[in-house]
């Protein structure tokens, strides 16, 4: 079975709307652009035509990606995200072992589609993300990194 995509209801709704828009308006607009570009003559040297075809390919990739996410979606409840331990959907503030008290980093644990603002995203299946899951404020967790084991303290959970 494919991997689950843990997302909030708001993200599910936003992605559903984007998918519907791309499947309808988006496809119509790009088809119109391709048709207009064809009218300009020789397709081998028609930059507008090639750009429109590239945009179509990118849009179709996005459609497949969105459909896959929505097919695998598991909705995270607001109650689950507001607990005392890290779960998918939380924004976590961490401090690496040995760093000064004021040197912290913030990560959203979850899907890149959940991203909001300037907060970096860490997948729950990544070494750091997996280590953070279930941790509480004040806990120190360890995870394997390319240059050896790293330890981080959970400073805050939002």
User: Are 5-76 and 83-157 equal in CATH topology?
Assistant: no
Q: How far apart are CA 4 and CA 86, in angstroms?
A: 18
In terms of Cα–Cα distance, which of 155, 10, 120 is closest to 73? Answer: 10
What is the domain class of 83-157 according to CATH? Answer: alpha beta
Q: Give whole-number Cα distances, 91 to 54, 77, 117, in Å.
A: 35, 15, 11
The answer as to CATH 1.10.287.180 being correct for domain 5-76 is yes
pLDDT tens, position by position, 2-54:
588 888 898 999 999 999 999 999 999 999 999 999 888 777 888 899 999 99
Please list the helix, strand and coil fractions of the chain in percent, rounded to the nearest 5, in that order. Answer: 45, 25, 30
Domain residue spans in the chain? 5-76, 83-157
Encoding tokens for residue 20?
């519907």
Q: How far apart are CA 65 and CA 110, in angstroms?
A: 16
pLDDT tens, position by position, 54-109:
999 999 999 999 999 999 999 988 776 677 899 988 899 999 999 999 999 999 99
């Amino acid at each position: 079975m494919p991997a689950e995509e843990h997302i909030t209801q708001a993200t599910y709704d936003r992605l559903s709307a984007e998918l519907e828009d791309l499947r309808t308006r988006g496809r119509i607009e790009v088809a119109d652009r391709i048709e207009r570009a064809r009218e300009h003559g020789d397709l081998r040297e028609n930059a507008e035509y090639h750009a429109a075809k590239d945009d179509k390919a990118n849009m179709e990739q996005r459609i497949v990606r969105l459909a896959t996410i929505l097919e695998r979606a598991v909705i995270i409840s607001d109650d689950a995200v507001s607990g005392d331990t890290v779960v998918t959907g939380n924004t976590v503030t961490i401090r690496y072992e040995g760093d000064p008290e004021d040197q912290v980093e913030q990560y959203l644990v979850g899907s890149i589609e959940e991203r909001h603002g300037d907060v970096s995203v860490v997948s729950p299946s990544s070494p750091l993300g997996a280590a953070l899951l279930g941790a509480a404020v004040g806990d120190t967790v360890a995870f394997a990194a390319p240059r050896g084991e790293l330890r981080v303290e959970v400073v805050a959970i939002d």
